[in-house]
Amino acid sequence: MTDDERVAVKTYVPRYQKGAWEDHADNLEMSQSEFVRTMVQAGRSDFEVPSSGGAADEKQSEMDADAETADSAGDDFADRILEVLQREGVHDWDELVDALIDDVEDDLDAALQQLQDENKVRYSGREGGYVVVGDE
């Protein structure tokens, strides 16, 4: 095997994350593989995604504006990491992932309960999941 030979890398992400990556890749007119490879490298070396001009740049500007809004969510996530480490002590990567997933599941459960109490969503066995009340 040579250093420049292509090899597969496999990872698992939540379905919503894959969907977001697909949308972002489409907006940048990239394949999913190219998008993930570029984002990983960007995170490692702080380089910017090359500009292709035209509609892709306009969409990128819109996504950049959305990203600014999402920055506070990133801060919240960093706060969650700190909370876990302060509450539970030293964690390796997998332990942090598990702890954060547990926190997300707890938050999801609480939020769904609140939305059901407010009669905004309900569980539909027929639909196979949660639905917005009134959109049925």
Q: Note the residue count of the chain.
A: 136
pTM of the model: 0.38
Question: What is the mean pLDDT, run by run of 10 residues, along the chain of 136 residues?
Answer: 75 83 85 81 62 55 55 70 89 86 82 91 89 79
CA angle 101, 72, 19 (to 5 degrees): 55
Strand partners, 124: 129
Which pLDDT does position 38 carry in this prediction? 81
How far apart CA 64 and CA 58 sit, in angstroms, is: 10
**CA distance readout (Å), 25 to 6, 47, 87, 103, 136:** 20, 17, 37, 29, 32
DSSP 70: H
Would you state the pLDDT for residue 61?
A: 58
pLDDT of residue 50: 54
d(CA 33, CA 82): 32
Own/partner contacts of 72-75, CB < 8 Å, gap of 24 or more, are none
Q: State both tokens at 24.
A: 């972002």
